[in-house]
Amino acid sequence: MKKMLPKIAASLAVCSILAGASVAADVIKIGVQAPITGSYASEGQSIDNGVKLIVEQYNAKGGILGKKIEVVTCDDQGAAQQAAICAKKLVNEGVKAVIGSYTSGATEAAQTTYHRAGVLQTSDGTSDSLIAHKYWTFFRNSFPNSAEAEYTAKYFVDGKQYKKIVILSDYSSYSTDLADATVKALKAKNANIIYEGKIKSGSQNFTATLTKIKSMDPDVIYFSGYYTDGGLLRAQQIQLGIKADFVGGDSNDNPDYMKLAGDSAKGTLLINVPTPDILPYDIAKTFLVDYKAKFNMAPASIWSLMNVDGLRAILHVMEQSKSDDTKVIAEGLHALKDFPGITGPVTFREDGERIGGGYMTYEVQADKSYKIVYQ
Amino acid sequence: MDIFLQQMVNGLTIGSLYALVALGYTMVYGVMRLINFAHGDLVAFSAFIGLSVYAQIFGESITSLVAVITVFVFTAAIVAFVGVLLERLAYRPLRTAPRLSAVVSALGAGLVIQNSVMLIWGPNMKIFPSNLFPSTIWEIGGIVITFTQVMILGVSSVLMVGLYFFIHQTKIGTAIRAVAIDQDAAKLMGINVNRIIMIIFIIGSALGAVAGLFIGTYYRGITFDMGWMYGLNAFVAAIMGGIGNIPGAMLGGLLLGLFNAMITGYISTQWAETFTFVLLIGILVLRPTGILGETVAEKV
């Protein structure tokens, strides 16, 4: 507790300084709640930078609703306790909307406070629990596991028309969830799943499971686990001469996957949201150029851009509805359909879930580069 | 049928790796009545040593038979040295102490090795070069067998047969067996027990090093904590075959590999470990000394 006191005092001091600086009523305040320090600092700073860049661009055009936009940033350190303090602070500041946080945990800790105060919140957290409350103030700007599963099912059934599908996962909750969601989505499309199996993460030797799979002669092997096992699975699949396609879920999209699989990596299909540099949209390209020009580096990851899309959607609705009333904006956001985002079209469901998914399938080339094969 | 044979090949490959590691356990136990729990971590350590030796000498680009042999010989020598050092520092001072102290010392030594590997090479997975062995694959009647698998099976069989003859045909081998039967009597016969124990650690560690390098070349990804899994499996194999018995360790390793492959292939991955330990318990209930274990005099 002794250690906490200086921190609280410091944040209170920051509060009062910021409060003093912004007495003018002709500004619209946007909050950023992000881990500016701590393990996720690079992600948090990237979110803050992205928001500031968009706001700067708006202000250069004369602001919004005739008012300048002001950004208020609060560092939640990726921790729930700090997030709760940030939430109170930002609400007291009178922000209309909060962008962030990066982690689901910090987002969830602040959610109720924003809801009570009627402050909009948009976050990239993928945890299912974030939309469990169905708060009208909350909008997820990333996609949950179920979205990836639906994309995968669509790709398998409509795109590739696989007839015999094998689903593999490990025992982690992420991998199991993704595999279960994928199986559910595939069954809804009447796909033929011939085998659902589990591998033990880290056990290195998957030949027994793969040999069993070989006897079933599948069209595709889908793996929902992590790259450390995925790379070995792929290498051993090629070794055993199993002709099926190998499709990896988002956690296989890692440089180490390529190293582990070696030459066998070629031809692997990876499903993930795009990395910032291969986003096909013009707004994305412009944004990345502007970001690089201002901060002299690339955004930390796609997640910063997801958050920026949350902000862009909110500002867009504000302009359209000519209102800064959060109730009106929330209605506008729910009514939004395919708003052109940096990370793909933005549409929100009634419970704040982002619909669709900017998921893409990449085929790994011989030189380990990616080629987009399905969107 | 070809699926069954394929599972046999898979099982025998992993089984020979278990057997190589199991030999280290069983030889040390045979001579010292000590379960060398640090042995598994020594295996992981050798994979990392192999990685560094290769990068240092050949710069990860040149591969030839000479390069591969050099990597294996260098690594085996370094690991054998570490094995001897381990015995000197962690086991010899405790030789007359109660067995439990030595076992705790072995567990501690294992953690020291594991954490040293983590501190030296880092906690992330390291990737073994893929070009150590040619990536040739043979397909015989639906059964796929790779060059690396052939190497693993071939080299381990040669080493195991060689070890068997070394123990049973040479003078040092006879001395090792004498020490295993009765240390004090062997000493009275003029056998240098310390030297025999050193030889045991050299052979055991070198065999473990070969296993570690094969794990690296076969599976490519190596982690600082992988020794635990291989150590545990090899330990089970050694017990199954009859701990202290050299052919027993080989048989136990191969059986365990086959058994694991069959359970995974025909029942399920989830049950592989459960069945392995049920089998172990079953064997121990029916034959408390293991499959090939002799009825040893009560020592504890």
User: In the prediction, which pLDDT does B64 show?
Assistant: 75
Boundaries of every domain in chain B: 2-125+152-286
Whether A211 sits inside 8 A of B10 (CB atoms) is: yes
Chain A, nearest residue to B261 by Cα = A208
Which of B7, B265, B270 has its CB closest to that of A198? B270
In a domain, A363, yes or no: no
Are residues A33 and A155 both part of a single domain?
Answer: no
SS3 content of chain A, % helix, strand, coil (to 5): 50, 20, 35
Q: At A128, is the pLDDT very low, low, confident or very high (cuts 50, 70, 90)? A: confident
Q: Give the DSSP H/E element, type plus range, for residue B144.
A: strand B143-146
Are residues A310 and A322 both part of a single domain?
Answer: yes
Q: At A125, is the pLDDT very low, low, confident or very high (cuts 50, 70, 90)? A: confident
Q: Please, what is the average pLDDT of chain B?
A: 88
Give the three-state DSSP class for A192. Answer: coil
Are residues A191 and A217 both part of a single domain?
Answer: yes
Tokens of B131: 């070009």
In a domain, A375, yes or no: no
Are residues A186 and A244 both part of a single domain?
Answer: yes
Report the alpha-carbon distance of residue B237 to residue A332 in Å, rounded.
66
Q: What is the dihedral of CA B28, B32, B34, B40, to 10 degrees?
A: -20
Tokens of A179: 């595999």
In a domain, A24, yes or no: yes
Task: Please give the residue range of the domain that contains residue A234.
Answer: 146-272
Percent of chain B with pLDDT over 90: 52
User: In the prediction, which pLDDT does B270 show?
Assistant: 77
In a domain, A106, yes or no: yes
A202 chain-B contacts, CB cut-off 8 A:
223, 226, 229
Q: Is the peptide bond before A101 cis (omega within 30 degrees of 0)?
A: yes
In a domain, A323, yes or no: yes
User: In the prediction, which pLDDT does B54 show?
Assistant: 85
CB within 8 Å of A94: residues ≥ 6 apart: A29
Are residues A205 and A263 both part of a single domain?
Answer: yes
Q: Give the DSSP H/E element, type plus range, for residue B115.
A: helix B99-121
Whether the complex's predicted ipTM surpasses the cut of 0.85: no
Q: What strands lie across the sheet with A138-140, from one edge to the other?
A: A68-75, A27-34, A97-99, A120-123, A138-140
Token look-up 């409509």 returns: A158
In a domain, A351, yes or no: no
Give the three-state DSSP class for A189. Answer: coil
Q: Is the pLDDT of residue A172 over 80?
A: no
Per-residue burial over B72-102, b if 16 or more Cβ lie within 10 Å, else e, is: bebbbbbbbebbbebbeebbeebeeeeeeeb
pLDDT (tens digit per residue) in A240-259? 888 899 999 888 887 778 88
pTM (two decimals) = 0.72
Are residues A8 and A138 both part of a single domain?
Answer: yes
Fold of the domain spanning B2-125+152-286: ABC transporter involved in vitamin B12 uptake, BtuC (1.10.3470)
Whether B130 sits inside 8 A of A211 (CB atoms) is: no
Report the alpha-carbon distance of residue B76 to residue B213 in Å, rounded.
9
Chain A, nearest residue to B137 by Cα = A239
pLDDT (tens digit per residue) in A274-291? 878 888 889 999 999 999
Nearest Cα neighbor of B252 from B289, B286, B214 is: B289
What number is the average pLDDT over the span B265-283? 83
Q: At B287, is the pLDDT very low, low, confident or very high (cuts 50, 70, 90)? A: confident
Instruction: Report how many helices (DSSP H) and strands (DSSP E) chain B contains, helices first.
Output: 11, 4
Beta strands in chain A (DSSP E): 27-34, 68-75, 97-99, 120-123, 138-140, 165-169, 193-198, 220-223, 245-248, 269-272, 339-341, 344-346, 360-364, 370-374
Query: How many CB atoms are located within 10 Å of the residue A81 CB?
Result: 13
Q: Please, what is the average pLDDT of chain A?
A: 87
Residue A299 belongs to domain with CATH number:
3.40.50.2300
A203 chain-B contacts, CB cut-off 8 A:
229
Are residues A98 and A10 both part of a single domain?
Answer: yes
Which of B3, B127, B144 has its CB closest to that of A241? B144
Q: What strands lie across the sheet with A220-223, from one edge to the other?
A: A193-198, A165-169, A220-223, A245-248, A269-272, A360-364, A370-374
Q: Is the pLDDT of residue A304 over 80?
A: yes
Report the alpha-carbon distance of residue B52 to residue B47 in Å, rounded.
9
pLDDT (tens digit per residue) in B68-79? 888 899 999 999
CA end-to-end distance (rounded Å), chain A = 51
In a domain, A74, yes or no: yes
Nearest chain B CA: its distance from A42 CA (Å): 20
One-letter amino acid of B159: L
What number is the average pLDDT over the span B193-212? 94
User: In the prediction, which pLDDT does A20 show?
Assistant: 43
In a domain, A218, yes or no: yes
Chain B, nearest residue to A217 by Cα = B3
Are residues A14 and A84 both part of a single domain?
Answer: yes
Of A233, A249, A272, the position where a domain reaches its end is: A272
Q: Domains in chain A: how many in total? A: 2
Nearest chain A CA: its distance from B65 CA (Å): 21
B260 vs A: CB within 8 A? yes
Are residues A284 and A138 both part of a single domain?
Answer: yes
Report the alpha-carbon distance of residue B293 to residue B191 in Å, rounded.
25
